[in-house]
Amino acid sequence: MHVLIVDDEDSLLLTLAANLELEEIEVTTAGDGARAVELAAKQHFDVVLSDMRMPGMNGLQLVGELRKINPVVPVIIMTAFALEGLVEQAISEGVFTVLRKPFAVDHVIAAVKRASARPTVLVVHDDPDAADSIASVLRAARVPAMATCDAHDAIRIAREAEIDVCIADLDLRAGAAELITELHALDPSIACVAMSAHRGADLRRVASQVVACIAEPVRTLELLQVVAKARAAFAHAPAHPGAAR
């Protein structure tokens, strides 16, 4: 794995690079966005880890330039500032996740490893058209996604594919609570998001097992924000040792 780290803070660059290298990850560093674009044009990177606020080109602008070179490279944004407008735009561009500074270094390492695996978001909905529509919205933002309308098929997919987020319809006839419980037993590092078209949906059975709940019809930005949030929250969670991948 080859990771590009972009930050104008030398001490953070050195710390992250040293810790990633201890994990036998090849690291290249850049002190600004322009240098990062130069490097990305010359060599392949599996993941880019970039600060948001930098002199000259900011993290959002860097994402746009990187997309021209490699449209599918996973980008993780780091930020210590309340730059919500920039963060929202970056999320709408399909960045893998956003890590808020200060953070634990092992959390960053886990997020980088998760991003390098190019995981997929699984959408489970009773209505096949709705499932496909939500997955299509994610794919349009360069977030890999799969869809199914069957809980048993969802478990099969989770066993066979690299799934890191599952968005489950609470009105699933086969039982969303049972699906979420089974997914947690299969692999606790899969972040589950509950979804419902009904206001006041009963979340009691899944409240402790979901990272968020979203309402239908799903708004694009909210959907992408929830996925990024789920990935940030669960990046450090180890895969279940018995998980069948």
DSSP 117-142: T--EEEEE-SSHHHHHHHHHHHHHTT
What's the mean per-residue pLDDT of the chain? 89
201-210 mean pLDDT = 64
Q: Are 67 and 22 within one domain?
A: yes
Q: What does the pLDDT look like over 79-117, one tens digit per residue?
A: 987 666 888 899 988 899 999 888 899 999 999 999 999
Could you tell me which of 76, 33, 38 has the C-alpha nearest to residue 55? Answer: 33
Q: What does the pLDDT look like over 158-168, one tens digit per residue?
A: 999 999 999 99
Taking the mean position of all CA atoms in its chain, how far away is CA 115? 7
For position 242, what pLDDT does the model report?
41
Q: Of 66, 89, 116, which residue constitutes the final position of a domain?
A: 116
55 in a structural domain = yes
Domain extent, residue 206, equals: 120-234
Strands 97-100 and 47-51: unpaired
d(CA 215, CA 197): 6
pLDDT exceeds cutoff 50 at 239: no
pLDDT exceeds cutoff 90 at 132: yes
Q: What does the pLDDT look like over 30-85, one tens digit per residue?
A: 999 999 999 999 999 999 999 999 999 999 999 999 999 999 999 999 998 766 68
134 in a structural domain = yes
CATH number for the domain including 210? 3.40.50.2300
- HSE at residue 175, side-chain half, CA atoms within 13 A, is 8
Could you tell me which of 221, 168, 171 has the C-alpha nearest to residue 200? Answer: 171
Mean pLDDT is lowest, of 78-87, 209-218, 220-229, for: 78-87
Q: Are 140 and 214 within one domain?
A: yes
Q: Are 106 and 178 within one domain?
A: no
pTM of the predicted structure, to 2 decimals: 0.87
Structure tokens at 143: 């977030």
Q: Are 125 and 112 within one domain?
A: no
Q: Mark residue 27 as left, alpha or beta (left: phi above 0; alpha: psi -120 to 50; beta: remaining).
A: beta
Higher pLDDT, 39 or 171: 39
